[in-house]
Amino acid sequence: MTRFIQILKKPVTGTLIAILFGFILAGFILSFAGYNPFAAFHALLTGIIGRPKYLANIVVKSTPLILTGVSVAFAYKMGLFNIGAEGQYIVGALAANLVGISIHLPAILQLPLVLLAGIAAGALYGAFSGWLKARFKIHEVISGIMLNWIALYFSNWIINLDAFHKPNTSGAYPIDQAGWTTFFPNWKSTAEAGQFMTDHPYIGDILRTDFNAGFIFAIALAILMAYVLYRTTKGYQLRAVGDNKDAAEFAGIDVKKNMIQAMLISGALAGLAGALNIAGNAPHAVMQLAAFEGNGLNGLSVAFIADGSPIGCIFSGFLFGGLLYAGQSIQYMIGAPSEIINILIGTIVFLVALKDVVVVIADRMEARQVLKRKEQARAAKGGAASC
């Protein structure tokens, strides 16, 4: 029983229980709406593991979510709520696109340049929000929301300029192929590749997608950010400021400087997510946006489900990506509306917010166990005294 209570107290346990109850509650909602929940979840599972290309597409879908999740989680450790990750993602994608169509270098130079452009744009955008907070005490939520809209409309304006707009499309020219992260882009269009994919249907199914190297960057950056936060002096300073700004300042830590640096790094990660999306996914160009794509905003949920852990964002990012991609299967396999998947995600996020209830229950179970032991000890003493 003691071991069970210890397991309940672990943060990951509360998150897993919240996810489980999220699916259960979504099942009740499906039943209430007149749909078979078991058929819906079977459709969801089929949409995840039914074919190799589904798994590949989920990896592609999850890549920007992992990075924006880590972006939000990193700022959160500093006590900052980076709701501006969406805008940082947009300017990162835009900068990568503009550099990718303006400069033509060998792949060994072109790809790093495209990615660095996205990183720099996102970093500056994030740092600006941090500077507004440090200098004028403008809350990062307010500045982040406003900067998101500025990024969206600025991106639309830029890609509609004659120098960047591709005729007869709603987007910019694609970046030079040397800046792609797609696996074997030239080879896949050859007859040999077609024959290979036919002979190897499993691998061929994956190669026909936009499967690219972006997920490697995402996982590596999540691990690196975890190392920075928990194994470096800078990470200690950032977490110290997040835990208690006054105490950190009393200890000699420059709170304002660290605030700007945290938002700069957070913005850089979101900008890289945008750059990798351009480098890895067709049409390798920024499209005109009527509304937010959601990669940055969904990063908030990814970070929240991961409880602010960069490593946890890897798993929650794949979970979120899988739900978003496979949720389409519920619609076309059983006819349920696509909004059901949004209800499922919202329910999970809501219940994760209540995950501390599991710890409260564990504490009460432990208290009862201690009380029971004391009563047993008293009873044993009483029995010995009567003898």
pLDDT tens-digit map of 119-143: 999 999 999 999 999 999 999 999 9
Please report the pLDDT score of residue 25 as a whole number.
85
Nearest CA to 70 out of 273, 280, 274, 292 is that of 273
pLDDT, tens only, 305-318: 888 899 999 999 99
Burial call 172-183: b when 16+ CB within 10 Å, e when fewer: bbbbbebbbbbe
Distance from C-alpha of 19 to C-alpha of 3, rounded to nearest angstrom: 22
Query: Of the given ranges (94-103, 207-216, 335-344), which has the lowest mean pLDDT?
Result: 335-344
What separation, in Å, do the N-terminal and C-terminal C-alpha atoms of the chain show?
32
Please report the pLDDT score of residue 30 as a whole number.
82
Percentage of the residues of the chain whose pLDDT score is greater than 70: 98
Please report the pLDDT score of residue 122 as a whole number.
97
Residue 345 predicted with pLDDT over 80: no
Higher pLDDT, 335 or 287: 287
Residue 33 predicted with pLDDT over 60: yes
Backbone phi and psi for residue 41, each to the nearest 5 degrees, phi listed first: -70, -30
| Two structure tokens written together for 181 | 């992260």
Does the CA dihedral 185-189-190-191 come out positive or negative?
positive
Nearest CA to 270 out of 95, 110, 135 is that of 95
Model confidence at 103, in pLDDT bands (50, 70, 90)? very high
Please report the pLDDT score of residue 97 as a whole number.
97
Please report the pLDDT score of residue 386 as a whole number.
61
Please report the pLDDT score of residue 383 as a whole number.
64
Backbone phi and psi for residue 143, each to the nearest 5 degrees, phi listed first: -65, -35
Angle at 60 between CA 264 and CA 39, to 5 degrees: 125
Please report the pLDDT score of residue 285 as a whole number.
95
Distance from C-alpha of 32 to C-alpha of 340, rounded to nearest angstrom: 12
Tell me which DSSP letter residue 208 carries.
Answer: T
| Two structure tokens written together for 163 | 């120098």
Residue 94 predicted with pLDDT over 80: yes
Query: Of the given ranges (41-45, 326-330, 379-383), which has the lowest mean pLDDT?
Result: 379-383
Residues sharing a CB contact under 8 Å with residue 348, sequence separation 6 or more, in sequence order: 18, 19, 22, 23, 305
Please report the pLDDT score of residue 186 as a whole number.
84
Distance from C-alpha of 249 to C-alpha of 372, rounded to nearest angstrom: 46
Residue 356 predicted with pLDDT over 90: no
| Three-state DSSP state, 172 | strand
Higher pLDDT, 335 or 304: 304
pLDDT, tens only, 8-25: 777 778 788 888 888 888
| Two structure tokens written together for 377 | 């000890």
| Two structure tokens written together for 255 | 């709170």
Residue 173 predicted with pLDDT over 60: yes
Distance from C-alpha of 1 to C-alpha of 148, rounded to nearest angstrom: 49
Average pLDDT for 201-214: 90
Model confidence at 172, in pLDDT bands (50, 70, 90)? very high
- Work out the mean pLDDT of the chain and round it to a whole number: 89
Residue 369 predicted with pLDDT over 90: no
Please report the pLDDT score of residue 385 as a whole number.
61
Model confidence at 274, in pLDDT bands (50, 70, 90)? very high
Give one word for 251, left, alpha or beta, with left for phi > 0 and alpha for psi -120 to 50.
alpha
- pTM score of the predicted model: 0.91
Please report the pLDDT score of residue 295 as a whole number.
92
